[in-house]
Amino acid sequence: MRRTTSPLSLVLLGIGTFLLVLAAMLAWYVEPRAQRTPIDTDVTTVFTGRGSYFDAKKVETVDETNLTITRKVRGDVADSEDSGRAIWDVSTSVDTDDTLPASDTHDSFLWTVERWVTDRKTNAPVHCCGETPRFEGEAYLKFPFNVEQRAYRWWDSTLGGTVELAFKDTKKVQGHEGYLFTGEVAPVKTGTRQVPGVLVGQKERGQVLAEEWYANTGIELVADRKTGRILYASIKPKKTLRAPGATTDEGEVVLLESSTGIAFTEETQKKQVELAKADNRKLRLVGVTAPAGAGGLGLLLAVVGSVLVFRGRPEDPTVVPAAAPTPESVTP
């Protein structure tokens, strides 16, 4: 008995093959390309802690006061689009109780503006597009995707250089596990500032170029393993002024210091964890869930279609093929 191929078997085989190809593309082509630093980011992170700062009005260092660091990061979508670069404008303000709430960042104790440009795929710095300052390293406002258990070079804007952060352990932030990295900055001269000599113990001199020194005795960052988003951050900065040529910290003036640490607020931690989870769900969808679903269904349909094609279907024995016309039956 002759058998013919069912149209349904061909359709099932075709759909199954398509889904298998789609699953492979999602897993090996689409998902890696989905790992790109966002260009439309608009995030505010807040650090709080206690410490000391120099009150210019009182001309003295005020101890044991509340310190707040607010960082606003906004992506420049127009300049980033179709460039392969992520361009972020960053505003960072440091406030005390006297300057909060700050209706204008210009009223803050300290205020800086930066422009960060990175490769969206590798997170490497890209020196273009009005970047300021010129920075280096591997980790900045975020870590690269797929964070590894190794040391990373983190850019410290106050230092004006990179700091090696060592991997320490895993750590949960608001129930979400990430990788903990730690580091520190030994006291180092970062610049000079013209101040009255009396301020740094040189009463006999009117104005002097005092030396600015910086240290950070405790940097802690917890990064989401998949996206590199920073879930938790804590720093213990110390900024001081020393007399010109001073070889020790004796007589130095504290500009800003927190020995107990300034860290992400609980609200900021929760927000960062929410964003990390959302990013992880998107990557899991295109990298795991969708490929697994498409691959499983595609394999099933391909197998069923192949079996039906192989088996075919029997021809209807009641259907008799029409006889070919003979020459005698053809009417001239």
- Please report, rounded to a whole number, the percentage of residues in the chain having pLDDT higher than 90: 55
Nearest of 124, 107, 103, 126 to residue 115 by alpha carbon: 126
pLDDT at 121 over 50: yes
7 — pLDDT class (breaks 50, 70, 90): low
The helix (H) or strand (E) run that includes residue 17 is: helix 7-25
pLDDT at 28 over 50: no
Task: For residue range 286-326, list pLDDT tens digits in order.
Answer: 544 555 555 555 555 555 556 555 665 555 555 555 555 55
Task: For residue range 46-61, list pLDDT tens digits in order.
Answer: 999 999 999 988 888 9
Identify the burial level of 169 via C-beta atoms within 10 angstroms of its C-beta, where 0-12 means exposed, 13-18 middle and 19 or more buried: exposed
pLDDT at 6 over 70: no
Say how far apart CA 103 and CA 99 lie, in whole Å: 9
**Would you state the pLDDT for residue 26?**
43
Mean pLDDT of 259-275: 96
Are the CB atoms for 89 and 74 separated by under 8 Å? yes
Task: For residue range 168-224, list pLDDT tens digits in order.
Answer: 999 999 999 999 999 999 999 999 999 988 888 888 888 899 999 999 999 999 999
Say how far apart CA 217 and CA 257 lie, in whole Å: 10
Q: Domain ranges for the chain, please list them.
A: 27-285
pLDDT at 8 over 80: no
CB atoms within 10 A of CB 53: 22
Are the CB atoms for 253 and 240 separated by under 8 Å? yes
